[in-house]
Amino acid sequence: MTDMEMFEKLRSVIEPYGSVAIAYSGGVDSSFLMAATTEILGAENVLGIYVENDLHPKREKFDAYVMAEMLGWKVKVISVGLDSDPHIAENTKNRCYYCKRAAFETILDYAKKKGFSTVMDGTNCDDLGEYRPGLKALEELKIVSPLKEARFGKEDVRKISKSRYDLPTWNKPSNSCLATRIPYGTPLTQDNLATVEEGENFLHQLGYLTCRMRLHGNLARIELPVEDFAKFMSLHRETVSDYFKELGVLYTTLDVLGFRSGSQDESLEAK
């Protein structure tokens, strides 16, 4: 199927709704959905809603806001705190369900107040093959996922983001909320989430844009692409260890298996 044919399929999913609100994070998928929906329905019929909380890096909010301003998208920021549901901070294996439920209930409520009866999100087909308990919350709340319905995978989104809109997010590394850096069963706090955010910001400043800092008590487990290992060990090993100690993390390790999304869920598979 050509890019044009895929887009027309997406158009057939979106067009009947007339006007929609979109859960907008500034990531690859939601940014493409904002661009496509704005083209299909018109900017006046699309409202992006950005959820601000302790689980998302502050830099993501800034980047999302700047891109929305640059492209003329209407975006509203709303807050959904850790205390919106006690199950979230408990950080059980179903945390994502409770977090998505709380976030999208708030999004739905705000959208309806502004006259938007339909809320969409950027779930794509590739997300269905991963451990995503939050998808159940989307189904319960009847959130529409046009990319999934039109059979878009992540690479389809990236390709058409570049070819049709030249969005700056077309090749943005995939990211996930900061809670995925904390092992299941370890309560989420503003302190340990801030430590992870500051640690990863430091790695980004050193040039490691694809990375994870997994926090295990007073030990940090860094995940980098294997091809970055030599650079890290020769140039930044001690620098990173010293900085992490300033954050209160005593030990720093480099995961020998390298970067991989969802490695926290390996503990579930082991069980």
Question: What are the 10-residue block averages of pLDDT along the chain, 271 residues in total?
Answer: 94 98 96 98 98 91 93 95 89 94 96 97 88 90 97 96 96 90 95 97 96 97 98 98 98 96 63 53
Other C-beta atoms closer than 10 Å to the C-beta of 230 total 9
Cα distance between residue 138 and residue 81, in whole Å: 19
Classify 256 as helix, strand or coil.
Answer: coil
Strands 212-216, 219-223: pairing is antiparallel
What pLDDT was estimated at residue 264?
66
- pTM here? 0.91
What pLDDT was estimated at residue 189?
95
Helix boundaries (H) for 116-270: 134-140, 146-149, 154-160, 190-205, 229-231, 237-246, 266-270
Classify 221 as helix, strand or coil.
Answer: strand
Identify the DSSP state of 166. -
**Given the structure tokens 């694809």, which residue do they identify?**
210
DSSP secondary structure of 75-110: EEEEE--GGG-HHHHHT-TTHHHHHHHHHHHHHHHH
Q: Supply 90's token pair.
A: 């408990």
What pLDDT was estimated at residue 266?
64
The per-residue b/e assignment along 154-182, b for 16 or more CB within 10 angstroms, e otherwise, is eebbbebbeebbebbbbebeebebbbbbb
In which region does residue 23 sit, left (phi positive, over 0), alpha (psi from -120 to 50) or beta (all else)? beta
What pLDDT was estimated at residue 166?
97
Q: What is the pLDDT of residues 216-262, one digit of tens each?
A: 999 999 999 999 999 999 999 999 999 999 999 999 999 999 998 76
What pLDDT was estimated at residue 269?
57
